[in-house]
Structure 1
Amino acid sequence: MTQLTQALWSDQSGQDLVEYVLIIVVIALGVFAALTALRNGLGSAFNNAASKLNAQAT
């Protein structure tokens, strides 16, 4: 049993894949957070521009 445990503990064959997946997840979360923050800012900027254009049109 200890040989099996040692063999599994020292096996690193899937380590690279897990690290790449974790990096992709962190990047995806960062992109999602940035897009969420930009969405609110861009929405308010377009609303301000539209209200100013409507005010000058009337």
Structure 2
Amino acid sequence: MGAMQRTAVEEEGQTMAEYGLILAGIAVVVMATVFLLGGAINTTFTDILNQF
């Protein structure tokens, strides 16, 4: 495999790893938000359902 091809493959792998880290970071933020606001969201939906 030539040097140019190896560089392209290495950069593609690096890009995939970076996307994986970004996705993991977003998942952590979403989970933290749900954990912190879960009670408030549950209360809001319960109040809405009790009005019917």
Pick the TM interval, shorter chain: 0.5 to 0.7
What TM-score do you get using the length of structure 1 for normalisation?
0.60
Spell out structure 1 runs of 4+ moving beyond 6 A.
Answer: none
Two-structure CA RMSD over aligned residues (Å): 2.0
Q: How many residues align?
A: 46
What TM-score do you get using the length of structure 2 for normalisation?
0.65
Q: Which runs of 5+ in 2 are unaligned?
A: 48-52
Task: Using the TM superposition, name which of 21-30 and 46-55 deviates more.
Answer: 46-55
Q: Which runs of 5+ in 1 are unaligned?
A: 1-12
Say which one has the larger Rg.
1
